[in-house]
Structure formats: C-alpha cells, structure tokens
C-alpha cells in the first residue's frame, strides 16, 4: 500500500475536551466528593504535564497534515498528541 502512496498512522490523544468529557465532570466530582476543578486537575489531567486538555481542533489539524502531501513519507507512525503524557 505504501508503494501506491497510501499511508497509515495512528493519532493517540490524551484527554480531549469534548461535550462527552465535559458532561462527565459533574458526576465524577459528585461520586468522588471533590470539586469539578479537582476532577479536571487531579483526575483527568493528572498524567498530562501540560495540565491542558487536547482540543478537537488540534487533533483535526494533525489529521489534515497527515493527509497532506507534506506528510507523504510519514507512514506506520504512532503520533501522541497528549500534552506530554507519553513522555511523562
């Protein structure tokens, strides 16, 4: 497939700020008896050194790049986009 210009890569995100994640925070806070801010900081983002959620736009930008001619030689790669989680 690579000889025909087809590439295959994996985008591996950390926690992405999505409506689903946003809706889970209040329930998690209630279940753990902590604030919503503590859920974000101490539960969801504990392993992400940047302490920031990955955005949908960041994931989309990486996907667009990987589909572009500029990334034609990138194939078989595992690309973390996780705020440093993997390196942590």
Tell whether 46 is covered by a domain.
yes
88 residues of the chain, pLDDT tens digit each = 667 778 999 999 999 999 999 999 999 999 999 999 999 999 999 999 999 999 999 999 999 999 999 999 999 999 999 999 998 7
**The pLDDT of residue 1:** 65
83: in domain: no
- Helix (H) or strand (E) run with residue 10 in it: strand 10-13
Contacts of residue 44, defined as CB under 8 A and 6 or more positions apart, other chains included, come to 15, 21, 25, 53
Position 59 in a domain: yes
Residue 50 placed within a domain:
yes
From the list 21, 20, 14, 86, the residue with the least C-alpha distance to 54 is 14
Query: Does 75 map to a domain?
Result: no
SS3 82: coil
Query: Could you tell me the residue range of the domain that residue 40 belongs to?
Result: 17-70
Q: Is residue 48 part of a domain?
A: yes
């Amino acid at each position: 497939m690579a000889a025909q210009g087809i590439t295959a890569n994996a985008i591996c995100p950390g926690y992405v700020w999505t409506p689903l994640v946003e809706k889970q925070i209040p329930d998690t806070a209630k279940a753990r008896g902590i604030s919503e801010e503590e859920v974000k900081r101490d539960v969801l983002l504990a392993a992400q050194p940047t302490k920031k959620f990955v955005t949908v736009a960041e994931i989309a930008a990486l996907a667009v790049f990987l589909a572009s001619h500029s990334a034609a030689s990138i194939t078989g790669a595992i690309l973390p986009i996780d705020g440093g989680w993997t390196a942590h």
